[in-house]
Amino acid sequence: MIRGLRPTARSVVMVTALASLGAGTLARAAELPRAPDDAAFAPAEALSVEIGRDLFFDPILSGNRNTSCATCHHPALGTSDGRALPLGEGGAGLGPERRATASNPPRVIPRNAPALFNLGASEFTVLFHDGRLRRDASAEGGIAMPNGLSLDQPLSPVAAQAMMPVIAPDEMAGQRGENPVANAVAEGRITGPDGAWQILADRVAAIPAYHDRFAQLNGPEAPIRMSDIAATLGDFISTEFRATNSRFDAFLAGDYDSFSPQEQHGLGLFYGKAGCHTCHSGPFLTDHRFHAIGLPQTGPGKGHGPLGFADHGHGAVTGNARDAYRFRTPSLRNIALTAPYGHAGSHTTLEDIIRHHADPGAGLATFAPAADDLAMSDEAEMMRIYAAITLQPVPLTEAEIAALVAFLNTLTDETPSQGRLGTPSAVPSQLPVDAPPENWPLSKPATQP
């Protein structure tokens, strides 16, 4: 709960109603969100979604042809990677089993790989943990891009964000001297005919199966640009990872008896005493704003602060000291599938992260980092994180924490994990596809023209 915001009288009435009269009364009394519907998502052409699916799993978009979008955002791992912090370009394997290689040691990425669920919904206008990409009608292509970059055509935020990892040296591009993409990035050549984005687009265009389908999608004379590739990735992410068919949605539609007493109690706490809905509001359970909740800083950090191990979050984007240590409120839909939690993946379970929210100062003070984690050794930086906290403590019992966890599990929609299109068994580049668990449903490659 943000400082100064307490449960309203109506919230108190809601909790009382839940405790004494049951879920049916709660549904009438509570200010619950509306369930998202098709109008929340822009329609996408089936061919674009199919192309985007193959490109999402294809390592062709990485400088060294060894990393795909799915490496850090695999549907079998909750559209993330199941790690506190990802092992970037050069690693081998998927998820928690990913390991460093001797020939090309990967770097640890300083922030937790965010989940991709529902990012195609129209209300998601600001993306990344620090909000460095946002919809802006005055910007080229309608999106204010990081690092002064601009788009050559209008894109949705979810499509535009797909253009960034491919030029990040530690994520997908690689290091100077390893490949032409990495060299272009190192030289500051991102846009233009000899830029990193066009080098990648030319690679894709040189593969007949991609070339022919893009010609079918955009016209035979249209060139393939990185923005065209990003548009298909955005359509795939929006379609494949839409998660709006949970038991909570059934509850919002009037199926009040589907919740157990513990889940009902958790819902009442969420919208009442615990005040979770103050930030996790609306149909996707996020206010899309930035808050400082005192999460521990682990890993290499973003190079901020005197020692370089800090991460100043939204403050590094805005340049405003008041925004330091603030991070974007994540959507809670499918939250049970996306552990670890926090911008640096500091908390491994829902119980852990709820306990931190209940008393952020104590959570920060008692957090036990790894012995070699230098970020937490900077006591002055830890005090600055502590001083920035805007979340007031809300004492919760273990039973209340368990009830909140039970409610959060009702937000799960398993459809994206089961796969609408699913993981391709092969991709047009013929490069290896990241292997999911054996029980993950593989699908056939998309139909070729």
- What confidence tens digit (pLDDT) does each residue in 110-155 have? 999 999 999 999 999 999 999 999 999 999 999 999 998 999 999 9
Q: Domain 9-31+246-409 - what CATH class?
A: mainly alpha
Q: Which residues contact 203 (CB under 8 A, 6 or more apart)?
A: 60
- Answer yes or no: is pLDDT of 79 > 60: yes
Please compute the mean of the pLDDT values over residues 397-413 and round it to a whole number: 98
- Band the pLDDT of 438: cuts 50, 70, 90: low
Q: Which residues contact 366 (CB under 8 A, 6 or more apart)?
A: none
Please compute the mean of the pLDDT values over residues 29-44 and round it to a whole number: 87
Please compute the mean of the pLDDT values over residues 200-221 and round it to a whole number: 98
| Cα–Cα distance, 143 to 189 (Å, whole number) | 20
Which residue stretches of 253-378 are H helix?
Answer: 261-270, 314-318, 350-358, 360-366
Q: Which two tokens stand for residue 34?
A: 């509306």
- Answer yes or no: is pLDDT of 441 > 60: no
Q: In the prediction, which pLDDT does 241 show?
A: 97
Residue 180, CA atoms < 13 Å, CB-side half-sphere:
11
CATH no., domain 46-242+417-443: 1.10.760.10
- pLDDT top residue among 25 and 250: 250
Nearest to 164 by CA among 198, 197, 192, 125: 197
Q: In the prediction, which pLDDT does 434 show?
A: 87
pTM: 0.91
Domain layout of the chain by residue ranges: 9-31+246-409, 46-242+417-443
Q: Which two tokens stand for residue 174?
A: 């690689």
DSSP structure class, residue 170: I
Share of the chain above pLDDT 70, in %: 90
DSSP structure class, residue 304: B
423 close to 442: Cβ distance less than 8 angstroms: yes
226 close to 202: Cβ distance less than 8 angstroms: no
- Answer yes or no: is pLDDT of 186 > 80: yes
Q: Which residues make beta-bridge pairs with 391?
A: 2
E-state strands within 65-221: 126-127, 133-135, 143-144
| Cα–Cα distance, 69 to 287 (Å, whole number) | 26
- Answer yes or no: is pLDDT of 377 > 90: no
Residue 152 burial class via C-beta count within 10 angstroms: exposed 0-12, middle 13-18, buried 19 and up: middle
Q: In the prediction, which pLDDT does 30 show?
A: 54
- Answer yes or no: is pLDDT of 427 > 60: yes
E-state strands within 249-347: 290-291, 327-328
- What confidence tens digit (pLDDT) does each residue in 306-319 have? 889 999 999 999 99
- What confidence tens digit (pLDDT) does each residue in 280-300 have? 999 999 999 999 999 999 999
- Answer yes or no: is pLDDT of 398 > 90: yes
